[in-house]
């Protein structure tokens, strides 16, 4: 383990450097980063480009062919859009256990693409303007 004295300018710089290193490691290897990498692997090239540019990606429902935007977040982050791309209805559905945002978004993508009607029967309808972006802190 690292041992530092509590006084001295050089020691403060060492502690600051160590904290910075830890934060950067956690940002690159923590749960949020791993979940985001997994999500990106499952996105199509078009969805990945849209996610990188806009912070959301669009999914086509398996039964109705409706388009849904899945925004970055975990709660009320799915918005049904009309043919002009305007928000129509917001939807809130999440896995039962607490997951990182990327994992929640991947579950939402798979659910809409494979069993849209079952998901919507369980989802809560929300106003698309009241979309909340919630990120879990780990």
Mean pLDDT across 15-43: 82
Instruction: Using a pLDDT cut of 90, give the percent of the chain over it.
Output: 62
Distance CA 8, CA 55 (A): 44
Specify the pTM. 0.75
Per-residue pLDDT band for 9 (boundaries 50, 70, 90) equals: low
pLDDT of residue 81: 96
Mean pLDDT across 112-125: 96
For all residues of the chain together, what is the average pLDDT? Answer: 85
pLDDT at 132 over 60: no
Q: Phi, psi (5° rounding) for residue 73?
A: 150, -170
Three-state SS sequence of the chain: CCCCCCCCHHHHHHHHHHHHHHHHHHHHHCHHHHHHHHHHHHCCHHHHHHHHHHCEEEEECCCCCCEEEEECCCCCCEEEECCCCCEEEEEECCCCCCCCHHHHHHHHHHHHHHHHHHHHHHCEEECHHHCCCCCCCC
């Amino acid at each position: 383990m690292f041992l530092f004295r509590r006084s001295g300018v050089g020691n403060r710089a060492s502690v600051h450097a160590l904290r910075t290193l830890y934060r950067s490691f956690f940002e690159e290897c923590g749960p949020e980063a791993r979940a985001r990498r997994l999500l990106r692997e499952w996105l199509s090239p078009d969805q990945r480009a849209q996610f990188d540019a806009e912070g959301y990606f669009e999914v086509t429902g398996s039964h109705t062919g409706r388009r849904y935007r899945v925004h970055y977040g975990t709660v009320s982050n799915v918005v049904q859009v009309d043919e002009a791309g305007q928000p129509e209805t917001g939807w809130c559905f999440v896995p039962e256990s607490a997951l990182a945002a990327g994992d929640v978004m991947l579950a939402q993508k798979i659910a809409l693409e494979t069993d849209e009607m079952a998901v919507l029967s369980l989802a809560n309808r929300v106003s698309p303007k009241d979309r909340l972006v919630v990120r879990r802190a780990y």
